[in-house]
Amino acid sequence: MHQSVLITGASSGIGEACAIFLAHKGFRVYAAARRLDKLRNLEGIAGGRITPVAMDVTDDESVADAIETITSDGVSLYGLVNNAGVSVMGPIETTPIEEWRRQYETNVFGLVRVTQAVLPMMRAAGRGRIVNIGSIAGRIAAPFQGAYASSKHAVEGVTDALRREVEPMGLKVSLVRPGFINTPFGHQEQESLEAHTAEGEPYAGAVRKFKAWHAKGHPNAPGPNVVAEAVHAALTAEHPYSRYTAPAKNLGPLVMRNLLPSAVADRIFKRLTGLADIEKKPNLGKSDN
């Protein structure tokens, strides 16, 4: 009997790569997302071990219906990969509160909602694995990434608390932190930044610089399989780590983050992102800095 795993956000990028990778490794995969048409492309892969499931993680009814569809097959999920995510980028000052809400509704409350829906069957079985997809941004917050980075900081906290709560019941919880990965996510982030570069936007000059730096990140990054490998390890290791970093080279910045004083880290960010070239002066709503 194949172990069953539910992956959210499986219609693209990392989630899709995880679905294919895990199905080839013998898992029965429930691949969930809003775009069912995209999920249907996965149906014939790995001997038909991938089943598409419509799910919007921001919607109670949609999540309940999806879990009902899975369990009505008599399936008890062994694994949950909380991967669905969006990225809202832009200055904290000018990012509308509705956009902050959209960020947290998916990355934080969506993750908690699906976890709550799956935990009763895992507790009843006395076994199960939950793998949350965080980000390097869950430890290191770049400028103009406040909404996204803070949502991933929240995922770090949720993961730590959950791991400690459910360990006595035989359940294991891990966090996988990707760095830049080459998926459509980068386009979404670039579009999100674009809105803040218009003439008259108070941070336009700085956002343009940051956007140019950010544009180089995703196309030159590794593909999503590097994350799928870490997810597989978290689902199958006898004693999984609490955190995996993918690719592993990103451990460097994470270690530095803990060692360097904030003032030094701030200077490194300024250099990396080109913000050091921006003249320090009061900005009275002009966008020419």
Ligand X SMILES: NC(=O)c1ccc[n+]([C@@H]2O[C@H](COP(=O)([O-])OP(=O)(O)OC[C@H]3O[C@@H](n4cnc5c(N)ncnc54)[C@H](OP(=O)(O)O)[C@@H]3O)[C@@H](O)[C@H]2O)c1
Give φ, ψ of 207 to 5 degrees.
-65, -40
Note whether 149 binds ligand X by CB under 6 A: no
Note whether 84 binds ligand X by CB under 6 A: yes
Q: Which helix (DSSP H) or strand (DSSP E) does residue 105 occupy?
A: none
Sign of the torsion angle spanned by Cα atoms 275, 280, 283, 287: negative
Name which of 27 and 180 has its Cβ closer to ligand X: 180
Rounded distance between C-alpha atoms, residue 112 and residue 154, angstroms: 11
- What track of x and - describes contact with ligand X for positions 16 through 45 (by CB under 6 A)? -----------------xxx--x-------
Stretch that binds ligand X, among 71-79, 177-185, 193-201, 203-211 (CB under 6 A): 177-185
Name which of 200 and 219 has its Cβ closer to ligand X: 219
Interface residue with ligand X among 20, 22, 55, 275 (CB under 6 A) is 55
Residue 86 CB, shortest distance to ligand X, in Å, is 5
What torsion do the CA atoms of 165, 113, 182, 178 make, to the nearest 10 degrees?
Answer: -10
Residue 53 CB, shortest distance to ligand X, in Å, is 10
Q: Which helix (DSSP H) or strand (DSSP E) does residue 120 occupy?
A: helix 111-125
End-to-end CA distance of the chain: 62
Rounded distance between C-alpha atoms, residue 276 and residue 205, angstroms: 12
Interface residue with ligand X among 184, 255, 264, 276 (CB under 6 A) is 184
Note whether 58 binds ligand X by CB under 6 A: yes
Residues facing 8 on adjacent strands:
32
Distance of alpha carbon 269 from its chain centroid, rounded?
A: 22
CA nearest neighbour of 231 among 125, 109, 82: 82
Interface residue with ligand X among 188, 190, 225, 283 (CB under 6 A) is 188
Note whether 83 binds ligand X by CB under 6 A: yes
- Stretch 224-243 residues interacting with ligand X (CB under 6 A): none
DSSP letter (8 states) at residue 200: T
Interface residue with ligand X among 52, 85, 143, 146 (CB under 6 A) is 85
Name which of 16 and 201 has its Cβ closer to ligand X: 16
- Category of 54 on φ-ψ map: left (φ > 0), alpha (ψ -120 to 50) or beta: beta
Stretch that binds ligand X, among 56-64, 139-147, 197-205, 251-259 (CB under 6 A): 56-64
Residue 126 CB, shortest distance to ligand X, in Å, is 29
- Does the annotation mark 148 as catalytic? yes
CA atoms within 13 A on the CB side of 35: 12
| Catalytically active residues, by annotation | 148
Residues that bind ligand X (CB under 6 A): 8-15, 33-35, 38, 55-58, 83-86, 106, 110, 133, 135, 178, 180-181, 183-185, 188, 218
